[in-house]
Structure 1
């Protein structure tokens, strides 16, 4: 039996059911009703005879469509919150799209659509492609015949960069093509000193008052920890006191952006900053507004909730608060996340650690990302030449 309906787009969708032959209802889409009627009529004749056409053999797998693959992957694999968010946004994008139709042409068409229709930033395009590529990798490893190879892995370098043709198509819509923004902002020595003065409560020049510094000791410690450890903001403000091991000079992170656990070594500066912060909290410093370590939490902003909206709200508020601090210090284009870049840069400048060792500290899952820091050791490489 089959049913059909015309979609709002004008295409025709057919649903074919055959118990014992098809593992689940088969969805097919055609541009015209005549084309659909003719194809489905031939298909039903073959199914009635107990014959499954070769091009539908792959559909015996539970993973028939792209949506099936995404949902199954998200159910069976533990994923970081970032991938979950990206894949959830993709679930309804290709309703009924069979995995057997996912080829390089399909991939190119999707990337082109993200640029010319959605006008996404190159970094956002890479995030979406990366999340779906990891999903398809899992599908291929599962052995399903629906997807033998992952065409997303065939994309060339700079696939997310807008070409001249992409730019023309975007400008025709009175929009501007997006450029790749690489955050290479370093914190100058004078800027760091200025930020510390603002965090100490000093009034900025040419202003009647400075930014609000709610839980000021915690703000100071968060700044120090970010600058010394290269941890992400959320990784830091969700730390429990039990994860901070002064004796071993480490912080154990069990929840990270990429889903993996890691042990972060602490510098003597970070440990000293922690001791100062701990003493203020234990002494019930008035600026901490009653916060204590009784709950086991290291910072006052987080109540232990893992709700994504709650965490996102905290991140936005803290980012905004530090944005005002940096602006008051005269470095308004500096973002809190730039502390991670600054801290990573200092690891390259001040240590002889390898890329792999630094990646274990920073939590970068791909050491290729760290290639951008290689120029910081140009003098070290020169010393090895004859």
Structure 2
């Protein structure tokens, strides 16, 4: 099964930057590789995710491939700015609060909804995709999920982190095959209820997707 990350890597291979030796790549080359998709109309967040893959490649080369002296030019390159819109993220503990918003939200969630939130943070999947996820979609051995229908009306595969896999394995099986057993509306209602219980304002379930993609970029930046 081909994952989104594999598709991104194959697309990157078509760029001119991949004709260079890794040791010769500088931040100016990264900047040039950014301008090319920008001119083609590729969305900033897509470019940032592509940069995350390149950044990870340099980190792996330095730590696992014996190229310890190799620097990571992605870290020094200009990153495309995200388009205007919501940028709300889960905040760390502030002021009198002893716990972060994530900790407070997860504590407020019931046993049924808590895995949904944890899974959303780990996978960046949309509410509808999570609500419609079935065990038949999952391949726990390959740590992936196949989504036949998405918001963009295209199929795609999701690669799971160890935390996402652990979350899924802790969920009891349901007779109807649904992984989480919650509709889109039920997820929205639960989020509103538990967010209020946790004392968190101006945060929606969709914001978890932005939180997840931001963390993915930061982990490889």
Instruction: Indicate the TM-score class for this superposition, using the shorter chain for normalisation.
Output: 0.5 to 0.7
The equivalent of 1:194 in structure 2 is 104
Separation in 2, partners of 1:294, 1:327: 32
TM-score calculated relative to the size of structure 2: 0.56
The equivalent of 1:297 in structure 2 is 178
The equivalent of 2:208 in structure 1 is 339
Structure 2 gaps of 5+ residues are 1-82, 93-99
The reply to whether residue 185 of structure 1 matches residue 88 of structure 2 is yes
Instruction: Quote how far apart the aligned CAs of 1:218 are.
Output: 3.0
Tell me: CA distance 1:337–1:188, structure 2 relative to 1, closer, same or farther (3 Å). Answer: same
Separation in 2, partners of 1:275, 1:263: 19
Runs of 4+ residues over 4 Å off in structure 1: none
**C-alpha deviations, 1:229-277, integer Å up to 9, x for none?**
0000100110110112111111111110000111100000111111112
Q: 1:271 aligns with which of 151, 159, 165?
A: 165
Q: How many pairs align?
A: 132
2:112 match: secondary structure: helix
2:85 match: secondary structure: coil
Which has more radius of gyration?
A: 1
Structure 1 residues 71-110: aligned runs within 5 Å: none
1:251 match: secondary structure: strand
Structure 1 residues 115-154: aligned runs within 5 Å: none
Structure 1 gaps of 5+ residues are 1-179, 200-215, 282-291, 302-313, 352-376, 378-386
The equivalent of 2:194 in structure 1 is 325
The reply to whether residue 254 of structure 1 matches residue 148 of structure 2 is yes
The equivalent of 1:52 in structure 2 is none
Separation in 2, partners of 1:316, 1:300: 12
1:337 match: secondary structure: helix
TM-score calculated relative to the size of structure 1: 0.33
Separation in 2, partners of 1:316, 1:242: 22
2:168 match: secondary structure: helix
